[in-house]
């Protein structure tokens, strides 16, 4: 899941700062005149200069808002692309690139009528995700341990779109909330799901890098997240690029609440990446490719293969549930507040069955 555009979003590939009046003035002219050419010009200047803040932060500041407005609070709207690699030369070399290197090769040139412009802030983070859900694929709870904090995600079922947009089957809509939490609150949340047969499914170590794009007509923001998830069970990796709706900036000509426009934007972004950036060489010599997928982290942790039509086949990792339950004791060890056996005992009373990432 991508985050909101925040104050930490600054340029990632610029080492010196210069005066930002030109970009600020152009963005202000855009809001006062409504002429998109000023916004495109601001994006061009930003990409050719060195700036303290991210491009979208300048737009938010000019709109006099601290963050984007979400048209659908509590709803996640995203698509996923599988990332695969091949060596440009079969020399058996180890991968030597950063996640942000993949984001850097995906460009959205600020041409005259550009639909999207990119803010290459390349925020990076790492954490551990613990998954709770049912064996039939229902994902309900994810506990994230990152930066010394715990976060609780609660998720609902995927709600398919039927707008008739080609490619919409790869855009996933589902209820989702995320909040800062504590181990006791985690246990309370898990107990609330007892009637659904929730149980612990496993964990991943996840690294991600995140950039953003701005839709120049509607003012909607979309995050681009490259993630490398490593399954604790067998060290297998899942590489993905996620494209997620992240709200809109007031002052644009936004048709607020028109969800089909968001779906169309995400499908267009998917096509842009898959068409222009397949078999693209990184500086490290790797060739990177992208393909649409509906595989969730929850499917990956359970070893469930997702076919091209979105169907899910069996659990293949075969790890004993007792070993999985013992593994969850690490959560309390990381926090250092609760005894491992107390947390394990609480979770073991929850009926066996579960849901999502």
DSSP 3-state assignment of 59?
Answer: helix
pTM of the entire predicted model = 0.84
Specify if 32 maps to a domain: no
What is residue 244's predicted lDDT score, i.e. its pLDDT? Answer: 99
Assess if residue 44 is contained within a domain: no
Residue from 115, 120, 36, 128 nearest 330 by CA: 128
Q: Is residue 275 part of a domain?
A: yes
Residue 319 φ/ψ, nearest 5 degrees: -80, 140
Asked whether residue 17 is domain-assigned, the answer is no
Token pair, residue 353, equals 């069955």
CATH number at residue 154: 2.40.320.10
The total number of structural domains that make up the chain: 1
Q: Is 260 contained in some domain?
A: yes
pLDDT in tens, 309-345: 566 665 544 444 334 444 444 444 444 433 333 333 3
User: What tens digit of pLDDT does each residue of 224-273 get?
Assistant: 999 999 997 678 999 999 999 999 999 999 999 999 999 999 999 999 99
In a domain, 160, yes or no: yes
CB contact at 8 A, 14 and 54: no
Tell me the residue range of the domain where 188 lies: 72-348
* Burial zone of 230 (CB within 10 Å; 0-12 exposed, 13-18 middle, 19+ buried): middle
Q: What are phi and psi of 285, to 5 degrees?
A: 100, -5
Residue 244 included in any domain: yes
**Is residue 88 situated within a structural domain?**
yes
Of the candidates 82, 12, 93, the one whose C-alpha atom is nearest the C-alpha of residue 283 is: 93
């Amino acid at each position: 899941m991508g985050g909101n555009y925040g104050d930490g979003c600054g340029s990632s590939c610029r080492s010196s700062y210069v005066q930002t009046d030109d970009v600020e003035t152009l963005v202000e002219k855009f809001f006062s005149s409504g002429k998109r050419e000023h916004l495109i010009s601001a994006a061009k200047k930003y990409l050719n200069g060195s700036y303290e803040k991210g491009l979208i932060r300048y737009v938010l500041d000019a709109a006099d808002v601290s963050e984007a407005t979400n048209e659908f609070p509590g709803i996640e709207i995203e698509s996923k692309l599988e990332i695969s690699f091949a060596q440009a030369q079969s020399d058996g070399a180890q991968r030597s690139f950063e996640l942000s290197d993949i984001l850097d090769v995906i460009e959205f040139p600020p041409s005259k009528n550009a639909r999207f412009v990119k803010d290459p802030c390349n925020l990076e983070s790492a954490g551990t995700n613990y998954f709770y859900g049912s064996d039939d694929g229902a994902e309900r709870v994810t506990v994230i341990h990152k930066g010394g904090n715990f976060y609780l995600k609660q998720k609902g079922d995927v709600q398919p779109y039927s707008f008739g947009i080609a490619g919409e089957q790869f855009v996933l809509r589902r209820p989702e909330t995320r909040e800062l939490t504590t181990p006791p609150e985690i246990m309370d949340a898990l107990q609330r799901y007892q009637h659904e047969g929730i149980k612990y499914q496993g964990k991943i170590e996840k690294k991600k890098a995140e950039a953003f794009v701005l839709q120049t007509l509607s003012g909607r923001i979309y995050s681009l997240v490259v993630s490398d998830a490593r399954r604790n069970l067998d060290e297998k990796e899942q590489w993905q690029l996620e494209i997620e709706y992240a709200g809109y900036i007031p002052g644009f000509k936004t048709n607020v609440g028109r969800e089909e426009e968001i779906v169309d934007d995400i499908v267009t972004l998917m096509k842009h990446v898959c068409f222009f950036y397949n078999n693209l060489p990184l500086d490290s010599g790797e060739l990177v490719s992208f393909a649409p997928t509906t595989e969730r982290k929850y499917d990956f942790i359970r070893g469930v293969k997702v076919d091209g039509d979105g169907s899910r086949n069996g659990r293949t990792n075969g790890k004993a549930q007792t070993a999985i339950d013992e593994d969850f004791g690490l959560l309390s060890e990381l926090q250092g507040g609760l005894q491992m056996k107390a947390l394990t005992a609480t979770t073991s009373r929850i009926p066996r069955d579960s849901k999502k990432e």
